[in-house]
Amino acid sequence: MIKFDRVTKRYGESRDALREVSFSIEKDELVFLTGHSGAGKSTLLRLIMLMERSTRGQVEVNGRDLQSMGRGAIPGHRRSIGVVFQNHQLLFDRSVFDNVALPLIIGGYDHREVGRRVRAALDKVGLLSREGSMPVTLSGGEQQRVGIARAVVGKPDILLADEPTGNLDPALSAEIMQLFEEFNRVGVTVLIASHDLALISRLRHRIITLRDGTMVTGTSD
């Protein structure tokens, strides 16, 4: 589903954010990506989302080589991936419902279909009763769950998460991870970047560890 083949990402003249990274994530897998901050976790996710392009090497997502993907194809590529951001990236002047509906609006679904899917996604994350609320009135954990609902509402094949439990207490973090495991069980490929080793090592999934841009462990199972 996601395949990196000797991928290097260099910023400027000398700093390599990623160096010769190779791994492959199969369909239906749930993989954790870990490493200290600055190790290249975010860069790796950004390459998958085509927010950046690799300097060398090949990134393949869903069978498509991202290097050869033109600018016009980027929006469609991003629609096929659900992303949960560390800082939630919610629209604070729109209701919870409108935030979750955004990918469907972009996808051009008709409003009945939008309503049905948004409520299903909100129900999944336990926020159905808050659909009319504004994001500022929600707690950090609830905002994160809105972000997750938005990521899965379009039924993507791949779900990426960048430090989804970054600002949450352990109980909430465990709950959020459970949500990801549930999505994984229904066939979504999940890649979660997290530095919370204590949490992720309990969960018994494959872990890819980065250190200074190189892979230390996790090439394959």
Partner 1 sequence: MARTNGREGAVHSRTGLDDRLHAWLRHHRMSAADSLHRLLDKPWSSLLTWLVIAIAMALPVGMNVALENARSVSTDWDRPAQISLFLASDLEQEPARELHRQLVGREDIEEARFVSSEDALEEFRQLSGFSELLDSLEKNPLPHLIVVFPAEGAEAGTIAELQATLEAMPEVEQAVLDMEWVQRLGSMMALARRIVLAVGALLVMGVILILGNTIRLAIENRRDEIVIVKLVGGSNAFVRRPFLYTGLWYGVGGGLIAALLVGGGLWFMGGAARSLAQLYQSGFEIQGLGIMGGLNLIILGGLLGLAGAWLAVSRHLSEIEPR
Q: What are the residues binding partner 1 (CB under 8 A)?
A: 49, 51, 72, 75-80, 83, 85, 89-91, 93, 102-103, 105-111, 113, 150
CB of 78 to partner 1, least distance (A): 4
CB of 106 to partner 1, least distance (A): 5
From the list 216, 162, 180, the residue with the least C-alpha distance to 37 is 162
Contacts of 220 (CB under 8 A, 6+ apart): 23, 24
Which CB sits closer to partner 1, 56 or 78?
78
CB of 209 to partner 1, least distance (A): 26
CB of 103 to partner 1, least distance (A): 5
Which CB sits closer to partner 1, 91 or 197?
91
16, 57, 105, 177, 195 from 167: Cα distances, Å? 28, 34, 29, 14, 12
Which CB sits closer to partner 1, 121 or 207?
121
Which CB sits closer to partner 1, 153 or 200?
153
